[in-house]
Amino acid sequence: MAPHERATALCRFIDASPTPFHAVEECARRLKQAGFARLEEAQSWKEAPPRAFVARSGSLVAWDASRASALEGGFRIVGAHTDSPNLRVKPRANAGAAGIRQLGVEVYGGVLLNSWLDRDLGMAGRVFVRAGASVEPRLMRVDRALLRVAQLAIHLDREVNERGLLLDKQLHLAPIWSLGRPAADLFEGFLAAELGCEVRDVVSWDMMLHDVVPARTLGLHDEFVAAPRLDNLCSCFCGLEAFLQAPAREAARAVPVLAFFDHEEVGSTSNRGAAGPLLKDALERVVLQQGGGREEQHRAMARSWFVSSDMAHATHPNYREKHEPEHWILLGGGPVIKINTNQRYATDAEGEALFARTCEAAGVPFQKYSHRSNLACGSTIGPITAAALGLRVVDVGNPQLSMHSCRELCGSADPDHMVRALAAFFSEAV
Ligand code: ZN
């Protein structure tokens, strides 16, 4: 696949995935298409096919244990997160003032608040709907321009350009969506109409807002991808593409695994976050399914590698002073190996060597990121996974600008770079 085709495919993946739930279902659709079986956690996996996956809400683990000599090399895992910072609808959503109906929203993760202003927003997520004596989850998405967080006019905020924009998360982010009467345009009624059910059957929801403008390439020569949720759907996309093209080599010694987690942006502590037991339990069940026991499980883990793929900061041309001078990161310059001696990234020299050599084997350029010593460094699922599972972990990611903006920017050549690097990792080129 040519790099620009890969960038376009990334755009379609992002458009299909306005929420972690949709991202998981899009991955599931493509895995099923490629012959992977969807397993349920509550059922027996003893007779399950060796190429399979399991999904838990916004998280997913997939593996290919079909090779005869697999597990001799442990697991080769690519991990990423499915969630992105955004605005989410509160349980008692109906609000408004001054004749305008609004929705109450909560800020999820480290949102660049200003980036959500004056954008045409849609809404997506899942709703639990009464079905007889129980409830069932229904995925839904509305891509038409439905909501807007309107910014205050400059005439009413004269010094905004000199003093900077200050936004109060409680007071200034409620989106407007109707001029209807308070009793008429209720959020529950909207959900029921969209889902084709009765209002009284709407029980609860995980609903969030998204930019309705599709992802697309940008630039004089289409050098960039402008899209929401690049952090971290770009890594999910690249991991999935590489996983699906991993060759069925008889000589393969390791089991390729994908591990996509929800809730990274809020600390990973949940039943399906990277700090939970989802991956550990799935790997253990794969070992059991292969006829192994605890001894084989521990030996497999000791031989395993986990590549934690999350987006990296490209050097911003307008803010060069925010970046480490000897570590400028270029858009289009290939995957970034992230190194932080304080373990904000899990990479050590062994992991750095593994990933550098893997890129070399794939013929892909790579870069090394180091944070400025006088700035607090972000983190990833890498250190969390390393601590929870005791695996060798290397933190990598594609470079981007505008991280955590409603609309981010990366290089259009880099998705293909990362796919090739991760494919080489899965096929044990090193
Ligand atoms: Zn991220």
Q: What is the pLDDT of residues 172-224, one digit of tens each?
A: 999 999 998 888 889 999 999 999 999 999 999 999 999 999 999 999 999 99
Nearest by Cα to 62 from 25, 82, 33, 37 = 37
Cα diameter, the chain: 71
Q: How far is the C-alpha of 55 from the C-alpha of 51, rounded, in Å?
A: 14
Domain 3-84+228-426 classified CATH 3.40.630.10?
Answer: yes
- The end-to-end CA distance of the chain, in Å, is 23
Res 41: pLDDT: 95
Q: Where in the chain is the domain with CATH 3.40.630.10?
A: 3-84+228-426
Q: How far is the CA of 28 from the centre of ligand 1 (A)?
A: 21
Q: Is the pLDDT of residue 247 over 80?
A: no
Q: How far is the CA of 86 from the centre of ligand 1 (A)?
A: 13
Res 62: pLDDT: 98
Q: How far is the CA of 215 from the centre of ligand 1 (A)?
A: 18
Q: How far is the CA of 231 from the centre of ligand 1 (A)?
A: 5
Q: How far is the CA of 82 from the centre of ligand 1 (A)?
A: 9
State if pTM tops 0.75. Answer: yes
Task: Give the 3-state secondary structure of residue 310.
Answer: coil
Q: How far is the CA of 403 from the centre of ligand 1 (A)?
A: 8
Q: How far is the CA of 233 from the centre of ligand 1 (A)?
A: 9
Q: What is the pLDDT of residues 41-78, one digit of tens each?
A: 999 999 999 999 999 999 999 999 987 667 888 999 99
Q: How far is the CA of 397 from the centre of ligand 1 (A)?
A: 9
Q: How far is the CA of 314 from the centre of ligand 1 (A)?
A: 14
> What does each C-alpha distance from 169 to 116, 146, 150, 175, 314 come to in angstroms?
12, 20, 14, 12, 28
Strand 224-227's sheet: what is its strand order? Answer: 216-218, 224-227, 408-411, 399-401, 312-313
Q: How far is the CA of 43 from the centre of ligand 1 (A)?
A: 32
**More confidently predicted of 139 and 289:** 139
Q: How far is the CA of 111 from the centre of ligand 1 (A)?
A: 12
Q: How far is the CA of 407 from the centre of ligand 1 (A)?
A: 14
Q: How far is the CA of 78 from the centre of ligand 1 (A)?
A: 14
Q: Is the pLDDT of residue 249 over 80?
A: no
Q: What is the pLDDT of residues 329-356, one digit of tens each?
A: 999 999 999 999 999 999 999 999 999 9
Res 68: pLDDT: 60
Q: How far is the CA of 186 from the centre of ligand 1 (A)?
A: 34
Q: What is the mean pLDDT of residues 92-112?
A: 97
Q: How far is the CA of 175 from the centre of ligand 1 (A)?
A: 25
Q: How far is the CA of 272 from the centre of ligand 1 (A)?
A: 16
Task: Give the 3-state secondary structure of residue 265.
Answer: helix
Q: What is the pLDDT of residues 12-41, one digit of tens each?
A: 999 999 999 999 999 999 999 999 999 999
Q: Where in the chain is the domain with CATH 2.30.250.10?
A: 86-211
Res 315: pLDDT: 97
Q: How many Å separate Cα 352 from the centre of its chain? A: 23
CATH superfamily of 86-211: Aminopeptidase i, Domain 2 (2.30.250.10)
Q: Is the pLDDT of residue 259 over 90?
A: yes
Stretch among 3-17, 111-125, 242-256 having the lowest mean pLDDT: 242-256
